Structure 1
Amino acid sequence: MSVRPASVGSFLRAAPPDRLPEVVAHHLRTWYPVDAVEMLLSDLTMSALWPVIDPESPAGGPLEQRCFGSQQPVSDNGSGKLLLPLTTWGDRLGVLRLQLTADPGQDALAEFVTVADELALAMRAADKDTDRYRQVARRQRLTMAAELQWELLPGRSLGGERFRLAGQLDPAYAMYGDHYDWSVTDDRLTITVLNGDGDGIEAALLTTVAVNAMRNARRSGANIVEQAELASDAIYSRYAGQSHVATLLLEVDLTGGAVEAVDAGSPRALIAHEGDIRGVSLEQQLPLGMFGDSRYEIQKFQLEPGDRLLVVSDGVHAATPGGRPPYGEAGLLNALRRTRLQPPTEAVGTVIRALRDYHAGAEPADDAVIVCLDWLRRTA
């Protein structure tokens, strides 16, 4: 009598990087009352879920979107469908869709969740070695500038016991110089939002220099002042002051909620708490790379448990489509209030959609970035 393997993980590690969904499908059909398996991945705009194993099978509908948004398993007893979120370290990848032939029982349901978690982790590792999953996620061709920007991104969401974090870029397929970056180490979460000068591939190259200079400094143990100064020097040595990068650098103490900031330009921070929204008052310093040997100072503010910190680029707060008032004066606040009950992963999409509606069909003059952080609580 065959004994069911304890884990699908060993099979995933032995599989070619482009065949992970098929390995999981074979495992589930062999050992469980499962008739069909499909993996659906989110597109770049986070607005639709697309099949991988059989591209002709149905795309994600309301149930799949509910699973993706809630990050909880969803079952439809009438059709025998079971949906499981594919997520790793808070980064939402998609949904695993199973067609069951019988009630699997509670033990099997727990095992399905484990299989989905192992698949998501393997997908994250395999992403650099195959184009298969990226080809599903992009529904049209990216510009070269957008290709550079997507390669730079750390992910689209991140989470832990003490925080939830998400970011979104728009337009996904033709962005320019706006960008975000983050990293968590021990009790410190570093977040940067950038608005590179210019447009097209030149803006993307400028942002690439800035992001990698700050990462180089950060990974060498430098604080955010040293990160800003190294990046500023690198940009100035390359562009001699002709191009610069407006940047907001933040370092959050996840234990106590203290935030250190270097405000080097146009991205703005806001704090929302129980429906109240206030801007974070920071003294703006010179954008990175404007002058040689620029020096920066740290400013501080405090988060309280339950606070939501939002950072937006000038493509959001300063958008004036058709001569309308800047979006940040009223439209942004209204959009943020609608996100009060949404997790950061959903809130960033709500704000971006509201910004598109504000343009009323007009072509945006700039790309846009929003990053949303929920600091949950102090730990004992």
Structure 2
Amino acid sequence: MTGAMQAVRDLVEALHHARPEDLPAVASRVATGLGALDIALFLVDYGQVELLPLAGEDGVVGEPVRIDGTLAGRAYTSGEPVRAGTPDGERIWVPVISGADRLGVLAAHLSSPPDDDAEFVRDLRALAAAFAGIVATRRTYGDALERTRRRLPMQLAAEIIWNQLPPLTFATPDAAVAAILEPCYDVGGDAFDYAINDCVLHVVVFDAVGHGIAASALTSLAISAYRNARRCGLDLVDTYRSVDKWVHAQHPEDYVTAVLGELDITTGTYRKISAGHPEELLLRDGRLVRTLTAPTALPLGLGYLGDPIPLVAEERLEPGDALLLYTDGVIEARTEDGEQFGVDRLVECVTKALADQLRPAETMRRMVRTLLAHQRDQLQDDATALLLTWTPAAGV
């Protein structure tokens, strides 16, 4: 049995009854099987600014590592191992990724180069994948992982929203979704969701009226109603009508704007209802092709005021196309002297990252860092964006 296989077996056996805070001790135990001095697990914070070391049962916490400008951060952003010499050996950082969702990095410390370098790196990546699965599943069993990821106290409204959301990133061979949500510790009315069913990728972005607990409660209802309609097999029109009905019934004085979209990943056909929401941006070959039709229906909760059958707009994508869905808080973010972030700056951020061949998740991380810098990290409104890319594996 190879050292890697023994390490993975030890990992699985040790985790049958392990708590989240036991992961550092388990990692140290596994390090021996790989011939490393130690292995440390770093988790990304909610704002994707720092990589934060997971504290063990003894409560000892290492130093956080900034993502931008560090070797560990390069492993996180690139998705590839990064290594460097140290005074007492070598350190290798390996990304910890669950599916396409970036969770952090694994840092292995070696006293001397391994006998088979390539094999050792492959073993580390396999171990990082095992830890990714563990982190993704164990986060609901205790609070250690959640506490580690928080650089600031999370407000209750944001807690409600984050508990409803899927991972920020998802990918198949044919399509990918990457989203951001800010201010991550104080968001209230914005949210997103997605799901893949057969050949249809469902996406939605919500923006509820108001702020704080009231807005998060309204958004939470909209997400649940949307998922219920989708899981009942309703089409776009009936999904809109179902969510609209529940929002109006439970919050008769309020409303939610939204884009409800469906992408056929085999043909590239994108169908959507824009419920009082800003238009999506269609990006192709590093430039903005056009904005899509919007709105096509009244906001959710106000549907009773208009046509009972909302308009479904359709767009045929080309391989490599990207659609950017966003809430108005993105383009309306202002500097102190009132200059808006605007659509042009948004397009510039995203197209530059795509031209640099960055992965969708890193494209969105950099975009939100630029957005926050524009408003000096003090957003006046929730800002959510979702990038949907279509890259058919076999062509069409």
TM-score, length basis structure 1? 0.92
Q: Which amino acid aligns with 1:76?
A: A
Partner of 1:367: 382
| Partners of 2:343 and 2:62 in 1: CA distance | 44
Say which SS state the counterpart of residue 11 (structure 1) adopts.
helix
Task: Specify which of 282, 286, 290 is matched with residue 293 of structure 2.
Answer: 282
Q: CA deviation at 1:134?
A: 0.6
Please say which of residues 330-339 and 36-45 is displaced more in the overlay.
330-339
| Partners of 1:326 and 1:351 in 2: CA distance | 15
Partner of 2:123: 111
Check conservation: 1:12, 1:20, Cα contact below 8 A: no
| Partners of 1:12 and 1:246 in 2: CA distance | 47
Check conservation: 2:288, 2:347, Cα contact below 8 A: yes
Aligned residues: 377
Q: CA deviation at 1:360?
A: 4.8
Say which SS state the counterpart of residue 182 (structure 1) adopts.
strand
Check conservation: 2:282, 2:292, Cα contact below 8 A: no
| Partners of 1:36 and 1:275 in 2: CA distance | 43
Q: Deviations over 1:321-354 (max 9, x none)?
A: 5574543343223322322222211111222222
RMSD between aligned residues? 2.2
Please say which of residues 188-197 and 158-167 is displaced more in the overlay.
158-167
| Partners of 1:2 and 1:93 in 2: CA distance | 27
| Partners of 1:226 and 1:167 in 2: CA distance | 25
Q: CA deviation at 1:71?
A: 0.6
Alignment of 1:174-213 (within 5 A): 174-213=186-225
Is 2:35 aligned against 1:33?
Answer: yes
Partner of 2:270: 259
Q: Which amino acid aligns with 1:114?
A: A
Alignment of 1:36-185 (within 5 A): 36-53=38-55, 55-60=60-65, 62-77=70-85, 79-104=89-114, 105=116, 106-185=118-197
Question: Alpha carbons of 1:181 and 1:34: their partners in 2 closer, same or farther (altered >3 Å)?
Answer: same
Q: Deviations over 1:32-62 (max 9, x none)?
A: 2210111000000011101004653232250
Say which SS state the counterpart of residue 272 (structure 1) adopts.
strand
Check conservation: 1:306, 1:376, Cα contact below 8 A: yes
Question: Alpha carbons of 1:317 and 1:279: their partners in 2 closer, same or farther (altered >3 Å)?
Answer: farther
Q: CA deviation at 1:302?
A: 1.6
Check conservation: 1:34, 1:98, Cα contact below 8 A: yes
Question: Alpha carbons of 1:53 and 1:35: their partners in 2 closer, same or farther (altered >3 Å)?
Answer: farther
Please say which of residues 139-148 and 8-17 is displaced more in the overlay.
8-17
Question: Alpha carbons of 1:25 and 1:270: their partners in 2 closer, same or farther (altered >3 Å)?
Answer: same
Check conservation: 1:305, 1:378, Cα contact below 8 A: no
Task: Specify which of 355, 359, 366 is matched with residue 350 of structure 1.
Answer: 366
| Partners of 1:95 and 1:233 in 2: CA distance | 44
Q: Which amino acid aligns with 2:363?
A: A
Q: Deviations over 1:86-133 (max 9, x none)?
A: 111100000000001232323332222111101101111111111111
TM-score, length basis structure 2? 0.89
Please say which of residues 160-169 and 67-76 is displaced more in the overlay.
160-169
Extract unaligned runs of 5+ from structure 2: none
Identity, % of aligned positions: 25
| Partners of 1:124 and 1:137 in 2: CA distance | 13
Check conservation: 1:256, 1:378, Cα contact below 8 A: no
Question: Alpha carbons of 1:292 and 1:126: their partners in 2 closer, same or farther (altered >3 Å)?
Answer: same
Q: Which amino acid aligns with 1:75?
A: R
Q: CA deviation at 1:214?
A: 0.3
